[in-house]
Amino acid sequence: MRVAVIGAGVIGLSTAQSIYEQYHSIVSPLTIEVYADRFTPLTTSDGAAGFWQPYLYDKGNVQETEWNKETFDYLLSFLSSPESVKMGIFLQSGYNVCTEPAPDPTFKDIVLGFRQLTERELQLFPGYTYGWFNTALMVEGKTYLPWLMDWLQKRGVMFYHRKIESFKELAESGADVIINCSGIRSGELQPDPELTPGRGQIIKVDAPWLKHWILTHNFKQGVYNSPYIIPGSRLVTVGGVFQIGNWSEQNNSTDHKHIWEEACKLEPSLKHARIVEDWSGLRPVRSKVRLERETIQCGPSSVEVIHNYGHGGFGLTIHRGCAQEAARLFGQIVQQKGKGPKSRL
Amino acid sequence: IDTVRVVVVGAGVIGFSTAVCVAEALPFCSVTVLAEKFSPDTTSDGAAGILFAAQFPDISVERQRRWFKDSFDHLRAIAQSQQSPEAGVMMSSGYQIFKDVPADPKPYWSDLVIGFRLMTDRELERFPGYKFGQAFTTVKCECSSYLPWLEKRFRKAGGKVQQRKVSSLHDLSDSYDLIINCSGLGSRTLTDDPQVYPVRGQVLKVEAPWLQHFIRDGDGKTYIYPGIHGVTVGGTRQEDDWRLEVDDGDTRSILERCSRLEPSLSRARVLSKWVGLRPGRRNPRLERELVQPRGRKVPVVHNYGHGGWGVTLAWGSALDALGLVRQCLHEMPPQAKL
């Protein structure tokens, strides 16, 4: 069976991994190929801070909360091994602060040591009157993606540096199943009015004395449009903006100035931090993640497509849960095509 | 009013903290720091500097709380200001874990640090063999940066610095009106105090920039303290051990114990090794006395013997010492100033 994955960000690579893990001994032969025009370190996943945290509230989307939890627990399990360093996984604690009291976030039981902020702690954040402290995970794209690629390459997955123009193209070349992990550009393969860019811009600075992440929440301004500071293993990511509908991947100096000023108000010591670089990326925003099967007609034949895109600003946060679900959908296809173990009776 | 000539013996964290407190509070004093060793060669320089309270048997809990609180609040203000990177002072969150539930699960300092709580079962799962833990946020003060920063502040307040080995406090009684003794382990010979003894500590600095939390075993012997430019891992507590050389056996033991707590450390590159002799004493000596070396009475304020808690207690002790200095000055007969 030939599986073609479109997209080599965290979603594409982790889905390829889940499918391999679950089916390489069941389906024989199983050829997995990854097609992308951008590989690490040039994907959206690479630019992201690598901080595990969903949006504060899942708004009833319990499925996404479960996938987030699955991802957290999966990443956490690697901490007992030195392999975690090669994967870019580590723990970091920090603060979510709000301008007004707010209900506890949906992820409170997923993270470690979740608690309310004390009065003394809130004094650190003038202008913010409420918030929470917890320990979460970091999974840095620039380390995690190469680790995933290495994992896949060792198991015979092939990579092709090529932009796929249509599902038909892959179907005609013999792909049995296409996994569409093309993120923000999924619309080019199949129009999706629900998919829109949530442009983000960040500044990477050298400030090794910072060991906590700080995310501010201003409910009037909306998610990620309020300053955040997320220390990484080498540099600190300072943001942010969340500009719906803005397709520009160029760094904008007005955004830079705004982000920097707001962040320095939040963390005065940043004034002495050396600015290393700016980066802009397009979060693949959608009302909800598109994770479903579709049978696409290509002339006389049809090809099975599994869509796995639209993870907004929480791709790294949710990737494993979605990858496992995509693999489950793949399993359905395997059964239907009679390629599963029972079919050999 | 004539200038009172004050000398502070010792340029570690206790010496410079005390010198700054006196110079800033008492402008009519001229303060000189006299020491054989300055940063980066003091005992304070190798300390990880995580603020963590001590418990001394013969000093009232109120006084120890005050020392800790004064130090904590002073350093926290620096950590949260623009001075943070230059001063080498930052906030640090982490865990203190215990193999057995301690007698005092919620110690006296728990309300003085930030966000103190007990660790959850899920958090303890990371540490097999450990049954109990505390999680909190405290301050880390790196003396290799903090001491130069204090010196700058001291000079700005008019302070003077002189490099010199002091063999006897009596030698200073001619040139100074008041002596503040912050000579740490040196007090053993300087003031003939047999109660102060070395507690040898060896630490390594490793490169592990992915580590963001401190982890300390409640027995005080194994700890991991991520800092600004490296992670300090340790340690040892060898009483009456005067060796300043690195011990390879200790190095191996430290790496082994710390890697058990934090497996990712086995991938960390060792950057440097360091040995320091903590000025151990049953209780720190923070009191005044009057010495009369050559007919002239000279007040001495002692501020030494903080063991492994020097950084933690420095500012609080310094303020306490300042109080003793004020008392000395108050009682000083006018003719002594001539």
Q: What is the pLDDT of residues A66-107, one digit of tens each?
A: 999 999 999 999 999 999 999 999 999 999 999 999 999 999
Contact yes or no for A26/A150 (Cβ under 8 A): no
Q: Find chain B residues with C-beta within 8 A of A124's C-beta.
A: 80
Q: How many CB atoms lie within 10 A of CB A150?
A: 11
CA distance B303 to chain A (A): 30
| Contact residues on chain A for B122, CB-CB shorter than 8 A | 112
Q: What confidence tens digit (pLDDT) does each residue in B278-309 have?
A: 999 999 999 999 988 777 889 999 999 999 99
Q: How many other CB atoms sit within 10 Å of the CB of residue B107?
A: 16
Kindly state the average pLDDT of the residues B259-265.
96
Asked whether residue B223 is marked as a ligand-binding residue, the answer is yes
- Residues of chain A whose beta carbon is less than 8 angstroms from a beta carbon of chain B are 79-82, 84-86, 88, 90-93, 112-113, 115, 117-118, 120-121, 124, 133, 135, 138, 207-212, 231, 233-234, 268-269, 271-273
Interchain proximity A212–B93, CB inside 8 Å: yes
Which pLDDT belongs to residue A300?
Answer: 84
Tens of pLDDT, residue by residue over A231-260, are 999 999 999 899 999 999 999 999 999 999
Rounding to the nearest 10 degrees, give the CA dihedral for residues A136, A137, A142, A144: -160
Q: What is residue A211's DSSP assignment?
A: -
- The answer to whether the CB atoms of B212 and A234 lie below 8 A apart is no
φ, ψ for residue B78 (rounded to 5)? -70, -45
Contacting residues of B for A210, CB less than 8 Å apart: 90
Distance from CA of A92 to the nearest CA of B (A): 6
Contact call for B212 and A93, based on CB within 8 A: yes
What distance in Å separates the CA atoms of residue B95 and residue B134, rounded to the nearest whole number?
Answer: 6
Q: What are the two backbone dihedrals, phi and then psi, of residue A130, each rounded to the nearest 5 degrees?
A: -155, 155
Residues B138-163 pLDDT 10s: 999 999 999 999 999 999 999 999 99
Tell me how many residue pairs between chain A and chain B have CB atoms under 8 A apart.
91
**A62 has a pLDDT exceeding 70:** yes
Q: pLDDT tens digits for B198-235? A: 999 999 999 999 999 999 999 999 999 999 999 999 99
Cα separations in angstroms, B49 against A150, B39, B144: 40, 14, 10
Detail the DSSP E strand segments found in chain B. Answer: 4-9, 29-35, 89-98, 114-118, 132-141, 160-163, 178-181, 197-207, 213-217, 223-226, 231-234, 238-239, 269-280, 285-291, 298-304
Nearest C-alpha of chain B: how many angstroms from A82?
4
Q: What pLDDT score does B40 carry?
A: 96
**Which chain B positions have a beta carbon within 8 Å of A234's beta carbon?**
209
User: What's the pLDDT tens digit per position in A139-160?
Assistant: 999 999 999 999 999 999 999 9
For chain A, first and last CA: distance in Å?
A: 19
pLDDT (0 to 100) of residue B338:
44
A133 chain-B contacts, CB cut-off 8 A:
115
Q: What confidence tens digit (pLDDT) does each residue in B128-142 have?
A: 999 999 999 999 999
Look at B86 and A121 and tell me if their CB atoms are within 8 Å: no
Comparing A159-163, A300-304, B227-231, B251-255, the range with the smallest average pLDDT is A300-304
Rg of chain B (C-alpha set): 20
pLDDT in the model for residue A219: 86
User: What per-residue confidence (pLDDT) applies to A343?
Assistant: 47
B43 is in an annotated binding site: yes
The reported pLDDT for the residue numbered B1 is 58
B77: nearest CA partner in chain A: A124
Q: What is the CATH number of domain A1-50+140-194+287-344?
A: 3.40.50.720
Confidence of residue B335 (pLDDT cuts 50, 70, 90): low
Give A344's pLDDT tier (boundaries 50, 70, 90).
Answer: very low
Does the distance separating the beta carbons of B80 and A113 come in below 8 Å?
no
CA distance A19 to chain B (A): 28
Is residue A60 scored above 70 in pLDDT? yes
* Domain chopping of chain B, boundaries: 4-331
- What's the confidence (pLDDT) of residue B47? 96
CATH 3.40.50.720 is right for the domain spanning B4-331: yes
pLDDT of residue A345: 44
The percent of residues in chain A predicted with pLDDT above 70, rounded, is 98
Helix pair angle (A141-154, A10-23), 10° resolution? 30
Determine whether the interchain pair A269/B81 forms a contact, defined as Cβ–Cβ distance below 8 Å.
yes
B→A interface, C-beta within 8 Å:
80-86, 88, 90-93, 114-115, 117, 119-120, 122-123, 126, 135, 137, 209-213, 226, 228-229, 263-267
Q: Do B210 and A124 lie within an 8 Å CB cutoff?
A: no
CB nearest A121 (choices: B83, B115, B120): B115
Dihedral in degrees, nearest 10, Cα atoms A203, A88, A213, A266: -10
| Radius of gyration of chain A measured on its C-alpha atoms | 21
pLDDT tens per residue across span B230-251: 999 999 999 999 999 999 999 9
For B212, the closest of A92, A269, A271 (CB atoms) is: A92
Closest-CA distance of chain A to residue B214, Å: 10
Q: Is the dihedral of CA A276, A282, A284, A285 positive or negative?
A: positive
Condensed to tens digits (0 to 9), the pLDDT of residues B69-119 reads 999 999 999 999 999 999 999 999 999 999 999 988 899 999 999 999 999
Q: Chain B residues with CB inside 8 Å of A118's CB?
A: 114-115
Residue B59 pLDDT exceeds 60: yes
φ/ψ of residue B242, rounded to 5:
-95, 0
Evaluate whether B268 touches B208 at the Cβ level (below 8 Å).
yes
CB-nearest partner of B212 from A82, A211, A273: A211
CB contact under 8 Å between B117 and A271, yes or no, is no
pLDDT at position B334 is 63
Long-range Cβ contact pairs of B81-86 (< 8 A, separation 24 or more)? B81/A268, B81/A269, B82/A268, B82/A269, B82/A271, B82/A272, B83/A269, B83/B149, B84/A209, B84/A269, B84/A272, B85/A207, B85/A209, B85/A269, B85/A272, B85/A273, B85/B145, B85/B228, B86/A272, B86/B145, B86/B149
Among the listed residues B10, B17, B71, B74, the one whose alpha carbon sits nearest the alpha carbon of residue B42: B10
Query: How close is the nearest chain B Cα to the Cα of A76, in Å?
Result: 9
Task: Report how far apart the first and last C-alpha atoms of chain B are (Å, whole number).
Answer: 11
More confident: B170 or A5? A5
CB–CB of A296/A189 below 8 Å? Answer: no
CB atoms B86 and A91 under 8 Å: no
Binary contact (A112, B228; C-beta < 8 A): no
Domain segments of chain A: what residues?
A: 1-50+140-194+287-344
Contacts of B265 in chain A (CB under 8 A): 82
